[in-house]
Amino acid sequence: MRTLLAIAVLLGCSTVSRSAETEAIDFRRDIEPIFARHCVRCHGADKQQSGLRLDDRQNLLRGGDFGEPTIVPGDSAASFLISAVSGENVDLRMPPEGDLLSKQQVDKLKAWIDQGAKMPTASFQAAVNPARELWSLRPLRPVRPPRFDDAWIANPIDAFVVEKLQAKGLSPSPPCNTATLARRVHLVMHGLPPSREQLARWEAASSLSGKDESLIEGVLQSPHYGERWAQHWLDVIRWGETAGFETNAPRPNAWPYRDWVIDSLNADKPFDRFVFEQIAGDTVGQDAALGFLVAGPANLPGQIGRDEESMRQARQDELDEVIRTVGQAFLGLTIGCARCHSHKFDPITQRDYYALQAMFAGLSYGERRLRGPENDRWTAQTPQAARRVAELTEELEAARESLGLREPLADVQSESFEPLEAKAVRMTIEATGDGNQASLYEFEIWTTPDDGRATNVALAELGGRATASSFALENQTRHPDNLNDGTVDRRQAYPWKAAKAGPAWIQVDLARPALVDRVVWHRGASTPADYEIAVQLPDDSWRLVADTRDRQPRLDDVRKAADVKLTASPAETERLASLIARLRSAQREHTRLAAGPQVFAARFEAPEATWLLRRGDPMQRTDQLAPAIPAALGDLELTLETADSDRRLALARFLGGPDNPLTARVIVNRIWQHHFGTGLVDTPSDFGRMGSRPTHPELLDWLAVELIQNGWSLKHIHRLILTSNTFRQASTPRDDALRVDADSRLLWRFPPRRLDAEALRDSILLASGKLRDQRGGAGFDFFNQRGGLSDYVPKETFDESGWRRMIYAHRVRMQTIDVFGSFDCPDAGQMTPSRNRSITPIQALNLLNSRFVNRQAAFFAERVREEADSENVEEQVRRAMLIAFTRPPSAEELQLLSALAREHGLEQVCRALLNANEFVFLQ
């Protein structure tokens, strides 16, 4: 802070001899000498303490680490600099020591700012609107494809590619063969190689006319398309089915979002609608889509400290996950970098960050009703379930009255008795309703009213001292001191809990004897079921004042009838317990039906206030902000009073609207990336200054405009790419081209690459004949558990439920999947817009030696024997090669593999094929 405040020291050295209010201020004459002499050493080109650079107008407009523009040209009253040097802001007083600037000096600065804060720099115009410097923020304009008289050009994509190649003295590669193309198309679009029948159709089309548009259409219409491309989207938003962080608790109802993504892609839902529903799906009955907003990790309420600072910090962390997801997934901007200070590189201020946060100020993580056909069925069944509950409730009430029992215990239970002079009160808990440890939040002892007022004399602050038979040593304190601290807000306190299940007691000794007539206890982690309460009198004798022998058990009491202690007979107790169990089951079913199917997705309430936070500190609130998009992108004209749904509706419409140049650019780049291995921009979630510039900017914009003009159809873009000759080139390397473009970014060939984990595992299952085509629903498990702190033991073998496509695996955050995790499969801990493609010895060892792969190799051999319909080894090898590589073996391959089969068995041939580069790589 002192480095920022030091500005005032240099300003103080300036003398004012003219009237600041009437004379024009010249920067070089009046301001620059001051900056040069006193400021640029700490706030210049070589060093920018607190993120502030005074010799750069763009930095002055954006501001330093405090998140506010240092100057607002034309408005000195709104300028951070004036607030500091005038002494208005005590915490940011400049200079930090010594006298403040004189009134004449401050007026001089005000005049300079009010006159536009002009700085005669070469980049002045760019500094006026720094967003103009960022290529990705320039408006989309129709681009005319280059014109070439070249038969190789099948569509405009090829024209753009040829233009770049010719500029570098390169030419395209010849087309690949039909089998390679078929395998390439199916692996890219489905994550699976083509079947024998599909390959035959490709070969037939090639031999007849060379046209395969109908085959491409069939690929696009297959449900495997959505299963494949949904995984790419889930990587971008790091979707997982556990909460992450310390507890990593499971989210059992997160999977409907995954299915929604798959279904939306298969239906070719317009991408602007795809975006809209993920931001405001609740307004159009698309509840599963809202899983997008809560896809990332988040602490559970029990992990959050009970103090105000911890709760505010946790809330900020939750919303930060949302901002980062929206910013990177749709806009390709790292807006989250502006949480603590204005973005260091992109035109996003800290004010922009919190204004965007205000869009989601009503959001919370949790489960919501999943509307749809299943919900309608449950709703129709609810009245009958309610009638069943009413009937059993009436029957149970009649039984209670006939047995002369009092009503069940409440969560906050009051036990009244005749006034007694008490020294202490003890509660002996024999059992809890769920069989767990005895637990209470608070224990109160109330005096008889004195002048109409009663006092809780158990309070520690009044001298009450709580003890217990034991207490649990767990993650949070369970000490008996919690029993009488006066805190009953569960967000601010922890309960007492006994060390183990079974009988336990608590006691509160009073500071002095008091006349009491009531005890109140608040249930903790469990509810007392059988207990006695006794009062210690002044003569040290104890008197029983309350017990539970004449109370009907609660509905959540799951003990066996034989363990319930009542004044009723055993037979009567058995009947009562049976009634309670039936009513409990009926209520559970009614609650389930009434709540409807659930999905882990964003929930919404009235938006809370959003504040600009100094340095991102939730305890340092400054200005309250209205919802807005980053100023560099426009203005939605929302206010503090705008309702939650209206905020998100405005944002959703902007994201897919004509004034936003980013959404279309970002998604067509992602599509290109998964066709060719690398996007036209190889930083697919960062289109800012620290990201890469596009290799083919005109092609990127042409694709973006083409997407919009064709109803935001993603399949239209796929169709264009798949039918281009650029995509159909051979992948064979050429020495001349490698010297110019070793990474094939200019696309002089199809860039080969290793299959990712999902495509590799699914292809192995397809080859073995064990791939189970079961779509949707809760996923299968890779581990022995779905969440929590215990060690995760990976499964080595699977039954049929685990032979589904890998997209349907239950995704445990922060856990690497056995065998295929080494193939750079992300763990949903971070957003992964593009995966690494490493090649390591661990990958080869896993494929060669793992129980999973060897078992599938054995299944593969069984399949080959059945389909070859022959004992001839050569015929079996041919069949295996067609399945694995979509081509027959060469004479040499046939000889070598047949010899291997005779000596070591067909299983080893299949094992070798599953480990071969031709199987593992996309050519």
Token digits for 301?
């309420």
Q: With residue 624 as reference, give the H or E element that holds it.
A: strand 621-624
Which H or E run contains 444? strand 439-447
Q: For residue 356, how many other CB atoms are within 10 A of its CB?
A: 27
> By CB neighbour count within 10 A (0-12 exposed, 13-18 middle, 19+ buried), where does 878 fall?
buried
Tell me if 784 sits within 8 A of 793, measured CB to CB: yes
The DSSP secondary structure of 491-511, one letter per residue, reads TT---EE-SSSS-EEEEEEEE
Q: Which amino acid makes up residue 536?
A: Q
- Using an 8 Å Cβ cutoff, are 484 and 459 in contact? yes
Three-state DSSP at 604 gives: strand
Q: H or E element: which one contains 428?
A: strand 412-432
Taking only the tens place, the pLDDT of each residue in 33-76 is 666 655 666 667 667 666 677 777 767 877 776 667 788 888 88
Q: Which of 474, 475, 542, 472 is nearest to 502 (CA)?
A: 472
Instruction: Say what the pLDDT of residue 26 is.
Output: 81
pLDDT score of 111:
85
Average per-residue pLDDT in the chain? 90
Q: Write down the pLDDT at residue 790.
A: 78
Q: Is the pLDDT of residue 129 over 60?
A: no
pLDDT of residue 128: 39
Distance of CA 531 to the CA centre of its chain: 46
Give start and end residues of each alpha helix (H) in 115-177: 124-128, 156-167
pLDDT on residue 34? 63
The answer to whether residue 420 scores a pLDDT higher than 90 is: yes
User: Distance between CA atoms of 687 and 140, rounded to whole angstroms?
Assistant: 14
The span from the CA of 762 to the CA of 760, in Å, is 6
CA distances from 922 to 187, 222, 841, 915 (A): 8, 20, 19, 14
Sequence-separated (6 or more) residues with CB below 8 Å from residue 283? 645, 648, 649
Residue 162: pLDDT above 80?
A: yes
The pLDDT score that the predictor gives to residue 98 is 66
Query: Which tens digits make up the pLDDT trace of 99-123?
Result: 677 787 778 778 888 888 888 753 3
Binning pLDDT at 50, 70 and 90, where does residue 1 land? very low
- 109 vs 819: CA distance, rounded Å: 65
Structure tokens at 634: 């426009």
Closest CA to 707 of 720, 688, 691, 689: 720
Q: What's the pLDDT score for residue 476? A: 66
pLDDT above 70 as % of the chain:
92
Helix and strand element counts for the chain (H, E): 31, 15
- 425: which residues sit within 8 A by CB, 6+ positions away? 443, 445, 458, 507, 508, 516, 519, 533, 534, 535, 536
CA–CA gap between residue 211 and residue 202 (Å, rounded): 9
Q: How far is 707 from 716, CA to CA, in rounded Å?
A: 7
Instruction: Say whether pLDDT at 600 is over 80.
Output: yes
Quick one: pLDDT band at residue 4, thresholds 50, 70, 90? very low
Q: Are 782 and 828 in contact (CB under 8 A)?
A: no
| pLDDT recorded at residue 139 | 95
Query: What average pLDDT does range 294-316 have in this prediction?
Result: 88
Q: Select the more confidently predicted residue: 306 or 73.
A: 73
Q: Which of 3-7, 846-850, 865-869 has the lowest mean pLDDT?
A: 3-7
pLDDT one-digit tens code per residue, 626-684: 999 999 999 999 999 999 999 999 999 999 998 899 999 999 999 999 999 999 999 99
Element (H, E) at 847: helix 841-849
- Residue 369 pLDDT > 60: yes
pLDDT at position 117 is 86
DSSP string spanning 365-393? -SEEE--SHHHHHHHHHHHHHHHHHHHHH
Q: Which residue has the higher pLDDT, 478 or 479?
A: 479
- Residue 35's pLDDT is 66
Pairing mode of beta strands 621-624, 465-468: unpaired
pLDDT at position 195: 93
Choose the weakest-confidence range: 203-207, 425-429, 439-443: 203-207
Residues 433 and 428: their CA atoms lie apart, in Å, by 15
| Average pLDDT rounded to a whole number, residues 195-213 | 84
- Cis geometry, peptide bond prior to residue 194 (ω within 30 degrees of 0): no
Other Cβ atoms closer than 10 A to 310: 15
- For the cut 90, the answer to whether the pLDDT of residue 723 exceeds it is yes
Backbone torsions φ then ψ of 208, nearest 5 degrees: -85, -55
Q: In whole angstroms, what is the distance from residue 748 CA to residue 746 CA?
A: 6
The stretch 126-134 carries a mean pLDDT of 53
Per-residue confidence (pLDDT) for residue 36, from 0 to 100: 64
Both structure tokens of 157: 């994509």
Beta bridge partners of 429: 504, 531
Q: With bands split at pLDDT 50, 70 and 90, how would you rate the model's confidence at 474?
A: confident
Residue-wise pLDDT for 234-293, tens only, equals: 999 999 999 998 889 999 999 999 999 999 999 999 999 999 999 999 999 999 999 999
- What's the full length of the chain, in residues? 923
Neighbours of 853 (CB within 10 A): 23
Alpha carbons 298 and 815: distance in angstroms, whole number: 16
Q: What is the DSSP string of 670-722?
A: HHHHHHHSS-SSSSTT--STTSPPPSSHHHHHHHHHHHHHTTT-HHHHHHHHH
More confident residue, 737 or 55: 737
What whole-number distance in Å separates Cα of residue 426 and Cα of residue 171? 91
Q: What is the pLDDT of residue 39?
A: 62
898-913 pLDDT per residue, tens: 999 999 999 999 999 9
Distance from C-alpha of 766 to C-alpha of 400, rounded to nearest angstrom:
62
Torsions phi, psi of 461, nearest 5? -70, -20
pLDDT at 478 over 90: no
Instruction: Please give the Cα distance from 844 to 822 (Å, whole number).
Output: 10
Is the predicted pLDDT of residue 700 greater than 90, yes or no?
yes
Helix, strand, coil shares of the chain as percentages rounded to 5? 45, 10, 40
3-state SS, one letter per residue, for 54-100: CCCHHHHHHCCCCCCCCCCCCCHHHCHHHHHHCCCCHHHCCCCCCCC
pLDDT of residue 813 exceeding 70: yes
Condensed to tens digits (0 to 9), the pLDDT of residues 340-352 reads 998 989 999 999 9
Hey, which residues does 443 pair with through a beta bridge? 521
Distance of alpha carbon 138 from alpha carbon 834, whole angstroms: 24
Give the integer Cα–Cα distance in Å for 746 and 163: 10
Reported as a pLDDT band with limits 50, 70 and 90, residue 202 is very high
Confidence of residue 91 (pLDDT cuts 50, 70, 90): low
Binned at pLDDT 50, 70 and 90, residue 30 comes out as: confident
Dihedral in degrees, nearest 10, Cα atoms 72, 77, 81, 83? -150
DSSP conformational letter for 237: T
In this prediction, residue 170 has a pLDDT band, given cuts at 50, 70 and 90, of very high
Residue 153 has pLDDT above 60, yes or no: yes
In this predicted structure, the answer to whether residue 889 has a pLDDT above a threshold of 70 is yes
High-pLDDT (> 90) share of the chain, %: 76
